[in-house]
Copies of this chain bind each other. A is one copy, B any other.
Amino acid sequence: MTEPRDLSLSLDPAYDAAGLVTAVVSDRQGALLMVAHMNAEALVATQATGEATFWSRSRGRLWKKGETSGNVLRVVEMRIDCDQDALWLIVDPAGPACHTGAQSCFYRRIEGDGLVPVA
């Protein structure tokens, strides 16, 4: 069913019970780098600074990606999905996005019950 939010030209994120939306991050080449969450404050900070800021559920605080590592994500474009509960950030990453050192958090392909690292 199509709801007003699906076709609206006003930004009106459908935050969940925890005040969060999903934030999907990819680079300009279309590689998926990471998935995180944003609350309203993180969205404002991201728009204001041009660098991706999330809500860290594990730390319970705002978390600017790269605040420690320096591997910030410069936002090229932000989009929102039909029901406005997910954001898509297209970014220029300053370095590896994953805390393991991989360029992308999605560095393993699923093969049956196993995982195969992808170059």
Total identical chains: 2
Name the contact of A26 in the complex, choosing from B30, B83, B109, B114 (C-beta under 8 A). Answer: B30
Q: How far is the CB of A44 from chain B (nearest CB, A)?
A: 11
Question: Which residues 81-119 in A have Cβ within 8 Å of B in the complex?
Answer: 81-83, 86-88, 98-100, 102, 105-110, 112-118
Question: Which residues of A come within 8 Å of B, CB atoms?
Answer: 1-2, 6-11, 22, 24, 26, 29-32, 34-35, 47, 77-83, 86-88, 98-100, 102, 105-110, 112-118
Q: How far is the CB of A118 from chain B (nearest CB, A)?
A: 7
Find chain B residues with CB under 8 A from A10 CB.
Answer: 113-115
Find chain B residues with CB under 8 A from A79 CB.
Answer: 32, 106-110, 118
